[in-house]
Structures are given as C-alpha cells and as structure tokens.
Amino acid sequence: MREISVQLVTEKVRDLCMKANTDLGEDVLQAIDRAIEKEESPLGLEILKELKENARIAREENVPICQDTGFAVVFVELGQDVHLVGGNLNEAIYEGVRQGYRDGYLRKSICHPFTRANTGDNTPAIIHAETVPGDKVKITVAPKGGGSENMSRVTMLTPSDGIEGIKRFVVQRVKESGSNPCPPTIVGVGIGGTLEQAGFLAKKSLLRVLGTKNPDPVLDQLESEILTEINRLGIGPQGLGGRTTSLAVHILMMPCHIASLPLAVNIQCHAQRHKEITI
C-alpha cells in the first residue's frame, strides 16, 4: 500500500487552480485555429483572433483568461492501493482551492444561494471522486464559469424520443442559449444513467481533448451531426454571427432504466479550462 500525504494533494490542487485559470490548453487553441480557417463572418473571425490574443496575454502575464474564474470542479481518480495519510481528502482539496484562489488573485465566486453572501475563499469545491486500480492519484481541476453553466440543462426524455429527440433537445438548448454561454462553446452531452449521472457524464465529457474522436463510432457520428446542426444556427463567436457557434460536441453515454432516457447538456464556454496531474 503506497502512502500519499494529503498535504501533497493540497499543494497540487493549489497549483492546478492557478494554472487552469491562466493557461488555456493547446487543444483549445488549435480548435480555434481550425475555426479561423473556416469562419466566413469578418466579425466572427476578428473575435476568434481576439480569443487567441487574450489566451496569449493570460499565459504570458500569468493573469486569468476570464474575470469569471469559476466554480472549482475537481475530479479525483483514487488508486485503490493508495493510503491517504495526514488528514481528510475533501478538506485537503478545499484547502488547495482556498490557497490557489488566494495566491493566484483569482475572483472568489461562490456564495450562499439565499443571502448571496460570498464564502470568501471560493470553497466549497465540487468533488467527483472514484476509485480505480493502481497506486496513483489523478487530480483534474476544471474551473466552471457561471455564464455557460447557467445555460446547461438536464431532462428526462422518454425512450421513444430516441436519437432524434436527443439531437433536437441539444440543438434547441444551444439555440436558446444564444450569446449567453460566451461562444464558441464546447457542448458536453451526457446520455443515460439517472438524472444526476447524466449531468456528471455531460460534465466529464468536457475533459476529453478537443479534436480527438469519440471511441464509440455511433457516438462519434452523432457528435458530428449535432455539431453540424449547431454551426448552421448562425449564432457565431460571442453571438455576433458566424459559423463557429461551437468548437465541438462531446458525448458520454451509459445504460439507463428501461422506462427512461436521461439527457444532460453541459455547455462550456471558450474558456475551456482544466489541468491535471498524477501523483
């Protein structure tokens, strides 16, 4: 059994919070480059170039990509041969978020739902932990902005709605969202499971590297069909018109109850931030 101190988890979460908020992934920059080659709207083209410039400044000057530095969503894959020592895992993650948002001068965006009083340190974090084989711990920090999260939805379709019903709902969700989620977006789709599992799948799908194929050929085809329909809507970069409303559609799916067809759409803005480490 390998021992890992939760102190190390705190340090890594701290660093990941700061890195994720200032360093947009190469896969996102490359997806924007591909969009620049195809965008027909002069204004849309201009905005795509500005997004790249914004990302460059953020990386070089170590400042946040966006003023909304997000809810800290943390995915943990905990090897079952790891013994965490020195404290509680959740508390260690919260402390890492606390330190990362303090030391990185990142906006604290978490508040009481009724009083709207800010918790002051961007905690609590949302923690999705699962056990996996092995003696390592993989931690991914994905700060999630409020504008795009607000446009996300979970619904329970009926089995007879089928694939066509899924396509209709996802495209309609993007259409109704308009400029609110700061397009170009990445559209995460979770199909199956239960109500809460569909939402989790949609969020987790956003971690896939942009530009990579879905390993399931049926889902890969569905992603491509939905993306084509979305980019025909004409919403465009920042909602000012153009071909590039979304950079990608990512789908994760699992079996569901015979009476149900759960579906979640988690929209991610162009500030597609996540960083990971394995210890």
> What residues make contact with ligand SF4 under the rule CB under 6 A?
66, 68, 70, 145-148, 181-182, 269, 271
Pairing of strands 126-132, 71-79: parallel
Residue 255: CA count within 13 A, CB half-sphere:
2
- We find the least distance from the C-beta atom of residue 152 to ligand SF4, in angstroms, to be 11
Q: How far is the CB of 163 from ligand SF4 (least distance, A)?
A: 29
Nearer to ligand SF4, 87 or 241 (CB): 241
Specify whether the CB–CB gap between 91 and 125 falls below 8 A.
no
DSSP for 234-254, written as a single string: ---GGGSSSS-SEEEEEEEEE
| 3-state DSSP assignment of residue 92 | helix
Q: With respect to ligand SF4, which residue has the nearer C-beta, 4 or 20?
A: 20
Catalogue the E-assigned strands of 107-229.
126-132, 137-144, 153-157, 185-193
Identify which of residues 145 and 193 has a Cβ nearer to ligand SF4 in the complex: 145
d(CA 35, CA 45): 8
- Among residues 142, 114, 118, 117, which one has the least CA distance to residue 128? 142
Contacts of 19 (CB under 8 A, 6+ apart): 275
Nearest residue to ligand SF4 on Cβ basis: 145
Q: How far apart are CA 2 and CA 83, in angstroms?
A: 6
Of 46, 44, 45, the residue nearest 234 (C-alpha)? 44
Closest CB to ligand SF4 among residues 181, 193: 181
Nearer CB in complex with ligand SF4: 214/238: 238
Q: Which residues, in sequence order, are CB contacts of 164 under 8 Å at separation 6+?
A: none
Q: Which helix (H) or strand (E) holds 26?
A: helix 26-38
Smallest distance, Å, CB 222 to ligand SF4?
25
CB of 146 to ligand SF4, least distance (A): 6
Q: Between 54 and 197, whose beta carbon lies closer to ligand SF4?
A: 54
Cβ 67 to ligand SF4 shortest distance, Å: 7
Q: Is the Cβ of residue 230 or residue 269 nearer to ligand SF4 in the bound state?
A: 269
CB of 254 to ligand SF4, least distance (A): 27
Q: Is 84 in a helix, a strand, or coil?
A: strand
Q: Least distance to ligand SF4 from the beta carbon of 196, Å?
A: 23
